[in-house]
Amino acid sequence: MADTVGIMNPRTTYFMISEIKKVVNIPICMHCHDDLGMALANTLAGAEAGAKQLHTTVNGIGERSGNTPLEELLMALRLHHGIDRYDLSKLKDISKLVESYSGISVSKNKAVVGANAFAHESGIHVAAVLEEPRTYELYSPEMVGAARHIIIGKHTGAKALKYITERMGYHLKENELCDLAERVKMCSEFKRPINCEELRKLILGTENIDIIYPGP
């Protein structure tokens, strides 16, 4: 069943597959396009109605707006339907490989494999995710072969900076972390996060800091 122009929605997809199953005795295949942003939802609806073969593409690439993304479908099947026979730990790697060879960039905010899928900047979010990752992460980044990123920007609080700076080898006192947080906010006022090297320069420019630096 090919939704070639992406016109279906989950309800109509479920109804159509259910009706087709009443009159055919062969496995039904779902092939959805994403013209309305519903390819994934329609594919899941078709599967719930009895479709046995589900067409996908890595990163959702395909004609026009693309097709059902492999990585998003596999995660949905795992989390919503308990299907665990697929190795999800390579999803990030295969996404990057296809991105490289196809020349089609993956959006930073793309689900599962986007650069921001496990990125946190807001002070409240960072504090919570460091305490209990599932507060703001539906599943662990390691599950799909990704990694958590703490963004250093104007919303970064002292607790996030403590986590980042300790991983960089610096052990700052509470007042020094607060001072550093203010410096970070001043440097990122133009909505551009700063990188670790820039943060290092800010740390080294702060007076009376006890630095334990393990080397590059």
With cut-offs at 50, 70 and 90, classify the pLDDT of residue 133.
confident
Q: Residue 52: pLDDT above 50? A: yes
Mean pLDDT of 163-187: 81
Run of H or E residues at 32: strand 29-32
The total number of residues written for the chain in this structure: 216
With cut-offs at 50, 70 and 90, classify the pLDDT of residue 120.
confident
Residue 37 CA to residue 132 CA, distance in Å, equals: 32
Q: Return the pLDDT at 192.
A: 67
Q: Residue 17: pLDDT above 90? A: yes
Residue 199 CA to residue 154 CA, distance in Å, equals: 12
Q: Residue 211: pLDDT above 60? A: no
Residue 63 tokens read as 């004609």
Q: Return the pLDDT at 190.
A: 55
pTM passes above 0.75: yes
Phi/psi at 149 (5° precision): -125, 130
Run of H or E residues at 200: helix 196-204
Mean pLDDT of 162-175: 82
Mean pLDDT of 11-33: 97
Q: Residue 198: pLDDT above 80? A: no
Q: Residue 189: pLDDT above 50? A: yes
Q: Residue 208: pLDDT above 70? A: no
Q: Residue 42: pLDDT above 90? A: yes
Phi/psi at 185 (5° precision): -60, -40
Q: Return the pLDDT at 215.
A: 42
Mean pLDDT of 37-62: 97
Half-sphere exposure of 213 (CA within 13 A, CB side): 8
Q: Return the pLDDT at 176.
A: 82
Residue 68 CA to residue 178 CA, distance in Å, equals: 45
Q: Return the pLDDT at 210.
A: 43
CA 23: distance to chain centroid? 40
With cut-offs at 50, 70 and 90, classify the pLDDT of residue 216.
very low
